[in-house]
């Protein structure tokens, strides 16, 4: 059964923030104080880079290297799974298990062609995007706007990568949400003025795009 991402409307986000003792103004600006620094791998592009190298090595019939690149990507995904909870962690763990099996099959020469790996990589990037979206919501609720912006940009990047593996039609379909999420992430990260309604809508746009792509690529 397909999971549907719970919409993160402004009201929901504000309510969760108030439970932790944080109040929000309707229009605000990121503080000048240093934001919390993310762990090195949190927004890393390494998984996608390793997926690309895995495909290149596979095309050269260097199956051992291809499998090694896939396993390197899962190392980052395991780290990310330790930072999130709920559906985000579940999807990451599911994708890691899927990639572990893929790496074993690739190493044995049991995978027919590199295109056979595309959906596995799409689901992996989708899981990473979901995790970064969850982290962005938590950061925003803590008023760590710089971190929230960075996480949103990471989510946009991973959504773009996931859609790219899924094909040209999926990539085109996700392009609007990718652009909107990147723009919101930049606004939060650079200290530009924003409204809580704007942020809530941005999370909803990203969530709907992830739902749509997840259905297309077979996320369970």
What pLDDT, in 10s, does the model give residues 11-54? 444 333 332 333 333 344 544 334 433 343 445 678 999 999 99
- How do the residues of the chain divide into helix, strand and coil, expressed in percent and rounded to 5? 75, 0, 25
The per-residue b/e assignment along 153-192, b for 16 or more CB within 10 angstroms, e otherwise, is: bbbbbbbbbbbbbbeeebbebbeebbebbbebbebbbeee
Structure pTM?
A: 0.82
Q: Categorize the per-residue pLDDT at 120 as very low, low, confident or very high, splitting at 50, 70 and 90.
A: very high
- pLDDT for res 39: 40
- For residues 58-80, give the mean pLDDT: 97
- Which residue would you say has higher pLDDT here, 181 or 12? 181
Which of residues 220 and 194 earns the better pLDDT score? 194
For the stretch 72-100, pLDDT in tens is 999 999 999 999 999 999 999 999 999 99
> 27: which strand partners?
195
- pLDDT bracket for residue 220 (50, 70, 90): confident
pLDDT at residue 9 is higher than 60: no
The pLDDT, as a whole number, for residue 45 is 77
Task: Detail the DSSP E strand segments found in 6-143.
Answer: 27-28
Return the C-alpha torsion angle 69, 104, 131, 30, nearest 10.
Answer: -10
Query: Cβ neighbours of residue 21 under 8 Å, at least 6 residues apart?
Result: none
| Of 7-21, 142-156, 170-184, the least confident | 7-21
Residue 185 or 34, more confident: 185
pLDDT score, position 23: 33
């Amino acid at each position: 059964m397909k999971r549907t991402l719970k919409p993160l409307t402004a009201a929901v986000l504000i309510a969760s923030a108030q439970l932790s003792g944080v109040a929000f103004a309707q229009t605000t600006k990121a503080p000048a104080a240093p934001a919390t620094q993310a762990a090195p791998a949190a927004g890393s592009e390494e998984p996608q880079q390793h997926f690309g190298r895995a495909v290149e090595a596979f095309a050269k019939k260097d199956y051992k290297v291809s499998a090694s690149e896939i396993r390197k990507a899962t190392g980052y995904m395991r780290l990310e799974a330790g930072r999130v909870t709920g559906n985000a962690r579940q999807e990451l763990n599911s994708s890691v298990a899927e990639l572990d099996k893929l790496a074993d099959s690739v190493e044995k020469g049991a995978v027919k062609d590199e295109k056979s790996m595309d959906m596995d990589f799409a689901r992996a990037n989708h899981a990473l995007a979901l995790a970064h979206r969850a982290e962005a919501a938590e950061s925003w609720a803590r008023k760590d706007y710089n971190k929230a912006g960075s996480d949103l940009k990471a989510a946009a990047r991973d959504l773009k990568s996931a859609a790219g593996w899924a094909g040209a039609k999926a990539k085109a379909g996700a392009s609007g949400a990718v652009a909107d999420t990147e723009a919101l992430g930049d606004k939060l990260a650079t200290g530009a003025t924003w409204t809580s309604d704007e942020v809530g809508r941005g999370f909803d746009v990203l969530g709907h795009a992830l739902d749509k792509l997840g259905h297309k690529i077979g996320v369970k």
